[in-house]
């Protein structure tokens, strides 16, 4: 080697190492970082997201399987209006437009239900996957799909829809794929028809999964059966039911006694901990590790606070009959509260098939249905019923670690078993589980033994057909008839039609249980005598059609007053504050307008407020000279507050602090001795009823063993502590306090990727208002809309997000600001494609059949 060649060899070696390293990171993912080559490629990687962010002004494509051309006109809000000559063509186009805007969201939903998130996101989600598979939603969804007859309309509809999705995926280049695929370094799946049923199952997972009876055991162990029954009762002690009580317009306050908590022994605390662990285990799955690394479910948060009244639910709907509206037409409004995400759970769409369907509303990407919306005659919306549709059975098994049989009526029965494999991003086997089933459903292993689960979501039902048929209804009666096959998740479906009818029905499958009919306990699984006997007939569902009062509302409260009918439907019902407030608004105004309906969505008042404020006021007065100057100053400040939870409100800041202090001081017995973390917190309905009992033992602060406190002492002490605490936290000058700084909404990306969410949004909400916010701000109105059913239908709506799932699209989060302020946008309702033109038309997509036409 010559002298000149030595440095060249060295530099060549260095270059070879650099090239090898660059190629390695280009081709091979490193830890959480995907392969950089594809990721950074400006033509096909993440940067391409910008190139495909906006809709082309005009686009014409061929789509296999179409029988005739389909025209999709996107309006200026990014809503596709699909004009087709047949339902199947319309559904194929819907699958295509869903895929174009929301493909990754659809993939994530399917993978969540099937427990295959680890395959795209790695082993951190193994715990979530195990929980999903353990609950058995995917096999149940597959059974529902297979149960459809081969010539059923819904089967053809679903097949066409999924074809549309796969046609988009098949034609998409790397540059078209959602940026999340590139960040995760994975490719989209090929979608199957049963995926539609996975999405519907996911709604049950979100809305109808309840395992609170497992935690109830922990509460009973801690405070005793009698106290638990009073604090987490079968029937709400303040009744403002969904089904109107004829002749009654005021809330009914039931007499309530709160038995003393039992003195917790060490054994009771240990039992409580075991039961609590069982509850956590079932809620979070067999291996909860990593369940929170991505925002894929709210179970972890939900399990930490059994208070369902304010924290977890918040959906509302209400309607007024023509005689109570200014226009003389029926009005309907709704705002389903769900986990807020970007992209939003909803996708707005309008489908027109002349002579067959003309339906507008919000669809769930991955389904060809419109669960909430309207056609030219009928409008519908839903709130969650929250009925108890899950039961747990303690099973006797032949082997405590690896059972093969379970005992039933004195005989051993074989368990169904199957082995589940979990794979990682590149196919590596991460784990295997043996899943077992009894005749009731999945068998779950807990620290207290084996529990089997029965859940309506795992059983027969045809929700897709129901939604499909209901979209064609022309009257409220037809709509409810079409929805009879609907089983899960149980929903309070509110309907109004152009004929002036309004109606509500808590629709779903409600099991008939033997004995007292209750499902708020763990059953002895060794006998079949505890098994469900059947379902409620539709006629027994809580419902009302054309009520004399001329208005209807539901807000997740107990659907039917037990003095009307006392059949068990659930327990620990959410608080009635929202129902009381909306009914107050509707009763007070016999000339409702769409604008008044809109304003109610973010109404700043709460029916709870005055209960708390008057109790505190009375307590300070009762203390007389014992009340300090500080107490009086704080009370004056609280009294001067106008009761509105506006962003600029000062009094709301103090009020909220007072409420938190009262809750903390009152329910200290709900935490094991020596601890501050409560096992559960009774909701504020119980607190308000407890105000009526000034010497209840529950007012006692158990840390002061030499004193037994009474109500007024606790309320005044709470006011005092709240005042001092708020001054300490936000400054001595109350003029600087702002409620809006405390209650913010947070619309996070599905994967909680920073930069893809919209956070710290100041919204108008408060405890018990129609737009409640538990402080985390991650739940809220996922869609708000108002419909007026006059000679023609007029509607307004919005949701906290945008139509596109592309984070750099102008349609990704363009509605967030409108939503934040409570405003609604007029919805465009063209009858024909040509009706949408000019400034209201953003993009035209023409999908043409291939030369061969329909397959």
Partner 1 sequence: MRRAAWFIGAVVVTALSTWLVGWWSVPVVGAVWGWAKRADPATPLMAGLAAMIAWSLLLLISASGAPAGSVSTAVGQAMRVGPGALMGLTIAYPGLLAASAAAVVRAVGGRGREKGPLVAR
Give residues in contact with partner 1 (CB under 8 A).
8-9, 11-16, 18-19, 22-23, 26-27, 33, 36-38, 40-54, 174, 179, 183, 749, 753-756, 807-810
Per the CB < 8 A criterion, the answer to whether 333 and 88 are in contact is no
Taking the least distance from each CB to partner 1, the nearer of 56 and 328 is 56
Per the CB < 8 A criterion, the answer to whether 218 and 273 are in contact is yes
Write out the DSSP string of 785-851.
EEEEESSSEEEEEE-SS-S---TTSTTSSTTHHHHHTT--EEPP--SSGGGS-GGGEEEEEEEEE-T
Question: Cα separation of 852 and 94, whole Å?
Answer: 21
| Apex 179 CA angle, 176 and 183, nearest 5 | 135
Give the nearest distance from C-beta 212 to partner 1 in angstroms: 36
Write out the DSSP string of 692-740.
T-TT-GGG--TT-TT----HHHHHHHHHHHHHHHHHHHH-S-GGG--GG
Give the nearest distance from C-beta 97 to partner 1 in angstroms: 19
Give the nearest distance from C-beta 540 to partner 1 in angstroms: 50
Residue 130: enclosing H or E segment and its boundaries? helix 126-135
Give the nearest distance from C-beta 429 to partner 1 in angstroms: 29
Instruction: Identify the burial level of 304 via C-beta atoms within 10 angstroms of its C-beta, where 0-12 means exposed, 13-18 middle and 19 or more buried.
Output: middle
Instruction: Identify the burial level of 840 via C-beta atoms within 10 angstroms of its C-beta, where 0-12 means exposed, 13-18 middle and 19 or more buried.
Output: middle
Per the CB < 8 A criterion, the answer to whether 572 and 306 are in contact is yes
Give the nearest distance from C-beta 754 to partner 1 in angstroms: 5
Question: Cα separation of 665 and 709, whole Å?
Answer: 10
Taking the least distance from each CB to partner 1, the nearer of 13 and 246 is 13
Give the nearest distance from C-beta 165 to partner 1 in angstroms: 23
Give the nearest distance from C-beta 290 to partner 1 in angstroms: 18
Give the nearest distance from C-beta 809 to partner 1 in angstroms: 7
| Apex 89 CA angle, 85 and 93, nearest 5 | 120
Taking the least distance from each CB to partner 1, the nearer of 19 and 736 is 19
**Angle between helices 609-623 and 629-640 in degrees, nearest 10:** 150
Give the nearest distance from C-beta 806 to partner 1 in angstroms: 8
Q: Tokens 């009257």 — which residue?
A: 475
Alpha helices in 332-390 (DSSP H): none
Give the nearest distance from C-beta 42 to partner 1 in angstroms: 4
CA 423 and chain centroid, separation: 28
Question: Cα separation of 740 and 645, whole Å?
Answer: 8
Taking the least distance from each CB to partner 1, the nearer of 484 and 814 is 814
Give the nearest distance from C-beta 749 to partner 1 in angstroms: 8
Taking the least distance from each CB to partner 1, the nearer of 175 and 256 is 175
Taking the least distance from each CB to partner 1, the nearer of 558 and 806 is 806
Give the nearest distance from C-beta 8 to partner 1 in angstroms: 5
Q: What does the chain come to in residues?
A: 855
Question: Cα separation of 658 and 727, whole Å?
Answer: 13
Taking the least distance from each CB to partner 1, the nearer of 336 and 807 is 807
Residue 143: enclosing H or E segment and its boundaries? helix 137-146
Per the CB < 8 A criterion, the answer to whether 300 and 293 are in contact is no
Taking the least distance from each CB to partner 1, the nearer of 637 and 812 is 812
Taking the least distance from each CB to partner 1, the nearer of 197 and 756 is 756
Give the nearest distance from C-beta 117 to partner 1 in angstroms: 18
Rg (CA), the chain: 28
Taking the least distance from each CB to partner 1, the nearer of 27 and 412 is 27
Beta strand 357-363 pairing with 347-353: antiparallel
Among 641, 303, 659, 282, smallest CA distance to 449 is for 282
Three-state DSSP state, 536: coil
Alpha helices in 569-710 (DSSP H): 577-588, 594-601, 609-623, 629-640, 651-666, 684-690
Give the nearest distance from C-beta 760 to partner 1 in angstroms: 15
Taking the least distance from each CB to partner 1, the nearer of 750 and 787 is 750
3-state SS of 761-773? EECCCCCCCCCCC
Residue 359: enclosing H or E segment and its boundaries? strand 357-363
Give the nearest distance from C-beta 112 to partner 1 in angstroms: 20
Side-chain half-sphere CA neighbours of 687 within 13 A:
31
Taking the least distance from each CB to partner 1, the nearer of 27 and 253 is 27
Partners of 641 in beta bridges: none
Three-state DSSP state, 439: coil
Give the nearest distance from C-beta 777 to partner 1 in angstroms: 19
Taking the least distance from each CB to partner 1, the nearer of 193 and 752 is 752
Give the nearest distance from C-beta 179 to partner 1 in angstroms: 7
Taking the least distance from each CB to partner 1, the nearer of 6 and 590 is 6
Give the nearest distance from C-beta 193 to partner 1 in angstroms: 33
Cis peptide, bond prior to residue 343, ω within 30 of zero:
yes
Question: Cα separation of 302 and 439, whole Å?
Answer: 29
Question: Cα separation of 327 and 323, whole Å?
Answer: 9
Q: Tokens 């006998």 — which residue?
A: 527
Taking the least distance from each CB to partner 1, the nearer of 808 and 818 is 808
């Amino acid at each position: 080697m010559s002298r000149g060649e030595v440095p060249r060899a060295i530099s060549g070696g260095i270059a070879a190492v650099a090239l090898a390293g660059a190629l390695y990171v280009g081709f091979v993912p490193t830890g959480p970082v995907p392969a950089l080559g594809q990721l950074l490629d400006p033509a096909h990687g993440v940067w391409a997201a910008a190139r495909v962010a906006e809709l082309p002004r005009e686009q014409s494509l061929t789509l296999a399987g179409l029988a005739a051309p389909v025209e999709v006109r996107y309006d200026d809000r990014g809503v596709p209006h699909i004009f087709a000559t047949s339902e199947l063509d319309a559904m194929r186009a819907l699958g295509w437009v869903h895929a174009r805007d929301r493909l990754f969201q659809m993939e994530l939903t399917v993978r969540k239900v099937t427990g295959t998130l680890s395959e795209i996101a790695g082993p951190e989600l193994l715990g979530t996957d195990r929980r999903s598979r353990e609950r058995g939603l995917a096999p149940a969804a597959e059974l529902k799909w297979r149960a459809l007859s081969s010539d059923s309309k819904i089967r053809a509809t679903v097949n066409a829809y999924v074809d549309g999705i796969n046609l988009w995926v098949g034609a998409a280049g790397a540059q078209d794929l959602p940026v999340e695929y590139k960040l995760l370094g994975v490719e989209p799946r090929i979608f199957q028809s049963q995926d539609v049923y996975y999405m519907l199952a996911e709604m049950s997972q979100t809305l109808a999964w309840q395992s609170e009876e497992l935690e109830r055991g922990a509460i009973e162990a801690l405070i005793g059966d009698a106290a638990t029954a009073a604090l987490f009762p079968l029937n709400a002690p303040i009744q403002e039911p969904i089904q109107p009580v004829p002749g009654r317009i005021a809330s009914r306050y039931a007499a309530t006694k709160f038995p003393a908590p039992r003195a917790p022994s060490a054994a009771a605390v240990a039992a409580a901990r075991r039961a609590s662990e069982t509850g956590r285990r079932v809620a979070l799955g067999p291996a909860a590790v990593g369940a929170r690394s991505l925002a894929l479910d709210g179970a972890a948060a939900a399990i930490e606070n059994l208070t369902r009244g304010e924290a977890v639910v918040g959906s509302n709907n209400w309607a007024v009959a023509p005689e109570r509206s200014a226009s003389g037409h029926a009005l309907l409004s709704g705002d389903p509260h769900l986990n807020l995400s970007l992209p939003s759970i909803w996708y707005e769409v309008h489908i027109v098939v002349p002579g067959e369907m003309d339906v507008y509303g919000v669809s769930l990407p991955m389904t060809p249905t419109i669960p909430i919306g309207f056609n030219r005659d009928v409008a519908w919306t839903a709130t969650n019923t929250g009925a108890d549709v899950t039961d747990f059975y303690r099973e006797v098994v032949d082997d405590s670690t690896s059972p093969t049989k379970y005992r039933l009526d004195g005989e051993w029965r074989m368990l169904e078993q199957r082995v589940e494999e979990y794979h990682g991003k590149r196919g590596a086997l991460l784990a295997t589980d043996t899943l077992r089933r009894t005749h009731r459903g999945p068998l779950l292993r807990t620290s207290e033994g084996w529990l089997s689960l029965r859940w309506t979501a795992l059983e027969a039902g045809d929700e897709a057909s129901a939604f499909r048929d209901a979209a064609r209804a022309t009257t409220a009666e037809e709509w409810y008839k079409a929805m009879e096959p609907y089983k899960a998740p149980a929903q309070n479906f509110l309907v109004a039609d152009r004929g002036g009818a309004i109606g509500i029905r808590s629709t779903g499958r409600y099991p008939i249980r033997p004995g007292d009919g209750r499902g708020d306990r763990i059953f002895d699984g060794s006998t079949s005598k505890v098994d469900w006997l059947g379902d409620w007939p539709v006629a027994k569902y809580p419902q009302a059609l054309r009520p004399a009062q001329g208005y209807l509302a539901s807000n997740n409260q107990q659907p039917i007053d037990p003095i009307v009918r006392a059949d068990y439907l659930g327990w620990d019902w959410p608080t009635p504050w929202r129902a009381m407030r909306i009914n107050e608004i509707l009763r007070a105004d016999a000339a409702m307008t769409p604008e008044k309906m809109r304003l109610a969505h973010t109404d700043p008042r709460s029916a709870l407020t005055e209960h708390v404020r008057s109790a505190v006021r009375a307590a300070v007065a009762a203390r007389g000279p014992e009340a300090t100057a500080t107490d009086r100053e704080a009370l004056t400040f609280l009294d001067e507050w106008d009761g509105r939870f506006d962003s600029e409100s000062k009094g709301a800041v103090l009020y909220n602090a007072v409420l938190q202090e009262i809750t903390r001081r009152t329910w200290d017995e709900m935490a094991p001795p020596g601890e501050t973390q409560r096992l559960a917190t009774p909701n504020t309905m119980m607190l308000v009823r407890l105000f009526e009992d000034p010497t209840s033992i529950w007012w006692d602060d158990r840390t002061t063993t030499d004193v037994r406190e009474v109500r007024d002492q606790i309320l005044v002490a709470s006011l005092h502590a709240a005042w001092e605490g708020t001054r300490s936290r936000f400054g001595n000058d109350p003029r600087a306090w702002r409620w809006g700084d405390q209650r913010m909404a947070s619309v996070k990306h599905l994967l909680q990727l920073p930069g893809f969410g919209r956070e710290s949004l100041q919204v108008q909400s408060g405890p018990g208002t129609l737009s409640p916010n538990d402080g985390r701000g991650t739940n809220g109105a996922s869609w708000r809309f108002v419909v007026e059913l006059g000679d023609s239908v007029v509607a307004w709506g919005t949701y906290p997000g945008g139509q596109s799932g592309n984070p750099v699209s102008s349609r990704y989060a363009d509605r967030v600001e409108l939503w934040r302020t409570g405003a609604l946008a007029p919805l465009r309702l063209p009858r024909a494609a040509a009706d949408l033109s000019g400034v209201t038309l953003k993009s035209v997509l023409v999908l043409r059949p291939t030369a061969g036409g329909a397959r």
